[in-house]
Amino acid sequence: MKAPRNFVNRILLLPVLALGLAGCDTLQEVPDSDTYIFLDPEETLYVRFTLAPDLALENRFPDLADTIEERRYEQFYASMRSLAQLYRFPMDMHLLEKFETPGDGPVLDLFAIRWEQDQMGEINAVLRARLEKYGHLNTLGTFKQREMPSVMSNYERTEQVYARTMEDALSQMFVELNNHFETAAEEAYVEGVPSVGSEP
């Protein structure tokens, strides 16, 4: 008798998931670099999103857990694209699919520590953001947003609240991310500083 394909897939993915979560823990423990990361508009920023799994739901209703996870990723991608336009983000942004490897360039690591509805019915989004570039690491911060759906909310309206809480948290993150571009004054200062070994 064959085991259900979904069950087999989950068994195969368990080591990968464990590694991913271990990676998130390791990322949290790694201290920031002394070097402040400046982003170059000529490069591509790779965005890696990780959603903390609902293990209880995964064990009891794996198909439903898959559907919800896909929906959350869709909402995340839509919010990132919308906010990049809103903030006129000045560099190309590549949103990585799950298990996709980033290319050569800076990486924005976004980990949704929480994106769920609590026992009181309030929807909470808690997002940790870190920026990596060529061995250097800067923490952008932890960004939070919460909202209580209306008592009369149906499924679609509740999903809109899910999307809005994450978009609001990401909006806070974009404000901090934009600080990692050189201002005109900083750029002029760097260009005016003679390099080591140059003639005075």
Task: Tell me phi and psi for residue 2, to 5 degrees.
Answer: -80, 140
Q: Cβ atoms within 10 A of the Cβ of 23, count?
A: 14
Q: Residues 65-92: what's their mean pLDDT?
A: 96
Task: Tell me phi and psi for residue 151, to 5 degrees.
Answer: -60, -30
Residues 171 and 143: their CA atoms lie apart, in Å, by 9
Query: Taking the C-alpha atoms of 94, 95, 98 and 99 in order, what is their torsion angle to the nearest 10 degrees?
Result: 20
The tokens for 137 are: 């690491």
Residue identified by tokens 């929807």 is 123
Indicate the average pLDDT of the chain. Answer: 84
The tokens for 116 are: 């769920």
Q: Is the pLDDT of residue 77 over 90?
A: yes
Query: Taking the C-alpha atoms of 129, 133, 137 and 140 in order, what is their torsion angle to the nearest 10 degrees?
Result: -30
What pLDDT is attached to residue 56? 86
Q: List the domains of the chain with CATH numbers.
A: 34-182 (3.40.50)
Give the residue with greater pLDDT, 153 vs 29: 153
Residue-wise pLDDT for 153-193, tens only, equals: 788 999 999 999 999 999 999 999 999 998 866 666 555 55
pTM: 0.77
Q: Is the pLDDT of residue 43 over 50?
A: yes
Residues 72 and 78: their CA atoms lie apart, in Å, by 10
What pLDDT is attached to residue 153? 79
What pLDDT is attached to residue 33? 87
Q: How confident is the model at residue 3 (pLDDT cuts 50, 70, 90)?
A: very low
Could you tell me if residue 88 is left (phi over 0), alpha (psi between -120 and 50 degrees) or otherwise beta?
Answer: left
Residue-wise pLDDT for 95-141, tens only, equals: 999 999 999 999 999 999 999 999 899 999 999 999 999 999 999 99
